[in-house]
Amino acid sequence: MQTFQRSLFLGKTTRTEQQGEHLLQVKIEGEGPIAAMIKELIDYNFTSSVNASVGHEACIQSPRPPAWTNIFYTIYLPLIAMFFLQVLFNFIIRRIVLFFVLPYLFRKRSKARIIQLYNKLLFGRINERKLARARIREAVRRKQLQKAKGG
């Protein structure tokens, strides 16, 4: 990228021309060394023409390494924190449901029976996901067979 950038801007120059004139009339009355010096300064009049070519080399930034600490603190650290919080809260929410919510739903059941029911619910959810994925795979397979037959 830097080579492309340098080749694009290296040969380019900008030409500027500037001409100007400023008239100032000051009348100094007095005699002495200071008055003479001020008169000489004011009488200093010159005309100049500025014709300069300026290249783009000053505008091209040289490549520099990325700020890895900034990248770590703004991208990787939040990702790691979100991952750990997701795992932690998933574990905590399951335990809260298991030990505080389900005993109120099933008051007359023993704790072992509640754990068994909770595990049965979890396995039912997992099986539903597996069945849904199998249905999707079957639909995709049927669609591919129809395309292969020319339908």
Label residue 101 by pLDDT band (50, 70, 90). Answer: confident
Label residue 52 by pLDDT band (50, 70, 90). Answer: low
Q: What pLDDT score does 6 carry?
A: 58
Q: What pLDDT score does 5 carry?
A: 58
Q: Is the pLDDT of residue 2 over 80?
A: no
Label residue 35 by pLDDT band (50, 70, 90). Answer: confident
Mean pLDDT of 21-38: 76
Q: What pLDDT score does 47 carry?
A: 60
Mean pLDDT of 94-99: 79
Q: Does residue 74 or residue 21 have the better pLDDT? A: 74
Among 24, 19, 23, which residue's Cα sits nearest to residue 48?
19
The most confident of 17-31, 51-65, 73-87, 110-124, by mean pLDDT:
73-87
Contact of 56 with 14, CB cutoff 8 Å: yes
Q: Which residue carries 């199998």 as its tokens?
A: 134
Q: Which residues contact 51 (CB under 8 A, 6 or more apart)?
A: 15, 16, 17
Q: Does residue 37 or residue 21 have the better pLDDT? A: 37
